Homo-oligomer: A and B are copies of this chain.
């Protein structure tokens, strides 16, 4: 199936296991226009209007003194690490080998901020307090990603998380949370977001993934840290002339999708239970901790996507949109949102049976 044929097939689908239902640009903007928040006056370069309302709400939700709305997490996290590094007069920071900063940002932390990274642990597992203990020089900051996207949304136990954060604190290392998908952690930890992030000095959260907003992020932390972050945001070119539409969409995401996350997490667990029955398939992590999982197929990405395309063409149901080659097989990322909830288990069992059959 050519990419054009695949796109054509997807456009005919009515059901989607991955993500929320697709929305056009027009539909996304209509949601914002129809919301009461868009009555509020606009901001000017992030000052006034709805942007500051959202920032206060995020600060409150995270239990931090202040927050700043930013265009992206790429910007927010470099800025957080740079500030902690400058304050410690130490360019050394630490994170997982598959951290967003290491694999998705063209090494901006080096190229723009001249930071040096210690990569903790191994790519296919979470790092541990033992890994941290092996670092024998001072670190300005430690970045922890909860959940760890590149290993299927894995999460450390609460005890292990506390062991890591306490060790970092004992060494005077600042803790920064990569909370790109923090919203999805609530059910696993059975704690409020404020409790989950309490040990972190700074926290980044995202608004366009499960919350389905326009591109946008927030960085929360101490008031003086956030003031400094605003200066760095301007330096990065992220202090935009008007941020209200994104801020309104973020607020709508918090209202609409955040309360449904427990439903998504339950469904993800049920989907994994089906997948775990097949041979030639491995779910990562085996028991999902959030609404996300990765799925390892022994078959090639091309073969998997061809089969997914055939099923989608016949059943008008898209299981997932892409697979990437990995070792001898392929890897798929799957996260449950509104759309996945609408596919009954029996149908999923039959669709996945069909998929696996066509791969063997």
Contacts and interface: CB of A to CB of B under 8 A. Distances in A.
Which among A234, A239, A240 has the highest number of chain B CB atoms within 10 Å? A240
A33 B38 CA distance: 15
A103 B69 CA distance: 23
Nearest to A231: B106
Contacts of A248: 25
Contact of A236 (B38, B40, B42, B108): B108
B241 A108 contact: no
Interface stretch (A55-63, A70-78, A120-128, A293-301): A70-78
A134 interface: no
B108 A234 contact: yes
A326 interface: no
Contacts of A70: 237
- Each complex incorporates copies of this chain amounting to 2
Interface residues of A, number: 48
Contacts of A28: 42, 245
A344 B187 CA distance: 64
Contacts of A25: 32, 38, 40-42, 49-50, 242, 244-245, 248
Contacts of A73: 237
Interface in A106-159: 106-108, 111-113
Contacts of A72: 237-241
Given A72-B240, A238-B72, A245 B105 contact: no
Nearest to A43: B25
Contacts of A208: 241-242
A235 interface: yes
A89 interface: no
A10 to B, nearest CB: 11
Which among A74, A106, A235 has the highest number of chain B CB atoms within 10 Å? A235
Nearest to A104: B234
A236 B39 contact: no
B241 A78 contact: no
A265 interface: no
A329 interface: no
Contacts of A38: 24-26, 29
Given A112-B236, A238-B238, 15 more contacts: A25-B32, A25-B40, A25-B42, A72-B239, A72-B240, A74-B234, A76-B237, A78-B237, A105-B237, A106-B232, A106-B235, A111-B235, A112-B112, A215-B240, A215-B243
Please list the 5 inter-chain residue pairs (A to B) with the smallest Cβ-Cβ separation, ordered nearest first: A75-B237, A108-B235, A74-B237, A215-B240, A215-B241
11 contacts: A24-B38, A24-B39, A25-B242, A25-B244, A29-B32, A29-B33, A72-B241, A106-B231, A208-B242, A215-B240, A236-B237
Interface of A: 24-26, 28-30, 32-33, 38-42, 49-50, 70-76, 78, 105-108, 111-113, 208, 214-215, 231-232, 234-245, 248
